Amino acid sequence: MNHLLIDVKCADADTKLKALNELKNVCSQCRACELAKTRTTTVFSDGSPDAKIMLIGEAPGADEDASGIPFVGRAGQLLNEFLQETGIDRQKDLYICNTIKCRPPQNRVPSNEEKLACQAYLIGQISIVRPKIILLCGSTAAQTFIKQEFKISMIRGKWLNIFDNIEVMAIFHPSYLLRNHSMEQGSPRWLMQKDLENVKKKLDEILTKATI
Residue whose CB is less far from ligand URA, 52 or 101: 101
- Given candidates 16, 44, 55, 64, which one binds ligand URA under the rule CB under 6 A? 64
Question: What span, in angstroms and rounded, lies between the C-alpha atoms of 114 and 30?
Answer: 12
| Max Cα–Cα distance, the chain, nearest Å | 50
Strands 166-171 and 46-47: unpaired
Task: Tell me which stretch binds ligand URA (CB under 6 A): 1-9, 60-68, 108-116, 176-184.
Answer: 60-68
Q: Is 114 in the site for ligand URA (CB under 6 A)?
A: no
Site string for ligand URA, 170-189 (x = CB under 6 A): -----x--------------
Q: Is 125 in the site for ligand URA (CB under 6 A)?
A: no
Distances (CA, A) of 138 to 1, 4, 98, 132, 212: 18, 22, 11, 19, 34
- Taking only Cα atoms into account, the Rg of the chain, rounded to an integer number of angstroms, comes to 16
17, 49 Cβ separation under 8 angstroms: yes
Q: Is 58 in the site for ligand URA (CB under 6 A)?
A: yes
Q: Is 47 in the site for ligand URA (CB under 6 A)?
A: no
- Given candidates 44, 71, 82, 95, which one binds ligand URA under the rule CB under 6 A? 71
- Given candidates 47, 49, 60, 188, which one binds ligand URA under the rule CB under 6 A? 60
- Given candidates 42, 45, 86, 98, which one binds ligand URA under the rule CB under 6 A? 98
Question: What span, in angstroms and rounded, lies between the C-alpha atoms of 95 and 161?
Answer: 20
Q: Phi and psi dihedrals of 79, rounded to 5?
A: -60, -45
Q: Is 61 in the site for ligand URA (CB under 6 A)?
A: yes
Sheet holding 53-57, edge to edge: 46-47, 94-98, 53-57, 133-137, 166-171, 159-163
Residue whose CB is less far from ligand URA, 52 or 172: 172
**Residues of this chain that bind ligand URA (CB under 6 A):** 57-61, 64, 70-71, 73, 75-76, 98, 175
